[in-house]
Amino acid sequence: MSTKRLFYIAFFAVLVIGFYLAMGQLIPGFTTQVIKPLGTIRPFTFYNQNGQAVTEKAMAGKVTAVEYFFTTCRGICPRMNNNMRKVYDTYKGEKDFLILSHTCDPLNDNPDQLKRYADSMKVDTNKWVFLTGRKDSLYNMARHVYKIDDPKNNVGSIDDDFLHTQFIALVNKKGDVMKVYDALKESEIKELKDDIARYLKQ
Longest dimension (CA), the chain: 80
Kindly report the pTM of this predicted structure. 0.80
pLDDT in tens, 115-169: 999 999 999 999 999 999 999 999 999 999 999 987 767 666 777 678 889 999 9
Residues 146 and 170: their CA atoms lie apart, in Å, by 8
Q: What is the pLDDT of residue 24?
A: 47
Residue 201 has phi, psi (to 5 degrees) of: -80, -15
* Packing angle, helices 186-200 and 77-91, rounded to 10: 30
**Per-residue pLDDT at 33 exceeds 90:** no
CA pair distance 102, 13, nearest whole angstrom: 51
Strands (E), the chain: 39-40, 45-47, 53-55, 63-69, 97-103, 128-131, 167-171, 176-182
Q: Domains of the chain: which residue ranges?
A: 1-32, 39-200
Q: Which CATH number fits domain 39-200: 3.30.70.100, 3.30.420.60, 1.10.357.10, 3.40.30.10?
A: 3.40.30.10
Binding residues for Cu cation: 73, 77, 164
pLDDT tens digits for 161-202? 788 899 999 999 999 999 999 999 999 999 999 999 999 999
Task: Give the CA-trace dihedral at 99, 103, 104, 106, to 10 degrees.
Answer: -160
Phi (first) and psi of residue 88, to 5 degrees? -60, -50
Residue 34: which pLDDT band, with cuts at 50, 70 and 90?
A: low
What confidence score (pLDDT) does residue 149 get?
A: 87
2 or 125, greater pLDDT: 125
pLDDT above 70 coverage of the chain, percent: 81
Q: Provide the annotated binding site.
A: 73, 77, 164
SS3 (DSSP) at 23:
helix
pLDDT digits (tens, 9 = 90+) for 37-68: 899 999 999 999 999 999 999 999 999 999 99
